[in-house]
Amino acid sequence: MSDDPFSPAAGAAAGAAAGAAAGAATDAPEHASAMPLGADITARPESEARKWAARAGIAAITVLALGLPLVFGLLFYLLLSEEIVINAGDPIRQARIWTIRESQSLTGLAWSISSPELSPELSPELSPERSATEAVDAGIQCARMRIRYLKWDGYVRFEPDSEYCRCYQRRGGGWINAPVDCRVE
């Protein structure tokens, strides 16, 4: 036998001796996969609070993973087109979001929502001969529009809301401006 500790024969003999000594000391298998099911493994039941915390974490990650691309995509589209209109063509029920530009720079966002006015109150000084019931009989429907502004020129602030009312009349397949005005209260 050679005196060289790095020779293949010396390494194999040392490995065999160490393996025999370890096997004699314990009867446990080398790998956990070699253990029979249920032997020496005690599973702790997972608590309900821990389960709900894991579910909440997965929900938060899902919302972020799906919501952030949607928000950034809408902002990108808004910057390119300058306006998003939902339910276009029906001025009674319409939502709009648009950018506010002043002197070639983007200075804010505005959004408006219009909803039908249930009982149109017509302005008597502008159309004294027409009553609200006559307007409904003529196919006139009024819509209340509320506009909100978010400006950031200098500092971020909400501007005062604007609100107005406009009446429309059904003509053919669409809406046209009605010859009456309504009041915003």
Residues 143, 118, 130, 170: is their CA dihedral positive or negative?
A: positive
Task: Give, in order, the Cα–Cα distances in Å from 11 to each of 7, 15, 17, 20, 22.
Answer: 6, 6, 10, 14, 16
22-44 per-position pLDDT tens digit: 554 455 555 555 555 555 566 66
Burial class (CB in 10 A: 0-12, 13-18, 19+), 142: buried
- pTM of the predicted model, to two decimals? 0.54
Return the top range by mean pLDDT from 1-10, 54-63, 121-130, 133-142.
Answer: 54-63
- Name the residue type at position 132: A
User: What's the pLDDT band for 165 if we cut at 50, 70, 90?
Assistant: confident
64 versus 117: which is more confidently predicted?
64
Q: Tokens standing for 110?
A: 């505005």
Distance of alpha carbon 92 from the chain centroid: 26
User: What's the pLDDT band for 125 if we cut at 50, 70, 90?
Assistant: very low
Asked if residues 148 and 112 have their Cβ atoms less than 8 Å apart, the reply is yes
- Name the residue type at position 1: M
Whether 138 shows a pLDDT value over 50: the answer reads yes
Asked if residues 165 and 145 have their Cβ atoms less than 8 Å apart, the reply is yes
Residues 15, 20, 26, 29: is their CA dihedral positive or negative?
A: positive
Distance of alpha carbon 53 from the chain centroid: 21
What does the alpha-carbon distance between residue 1 and residue 8 come to, in Å, rounded to a whole number?
11
Asked if residues 157 and 151 have their Cβ atoms less than 8 Å apart, the reply is yes
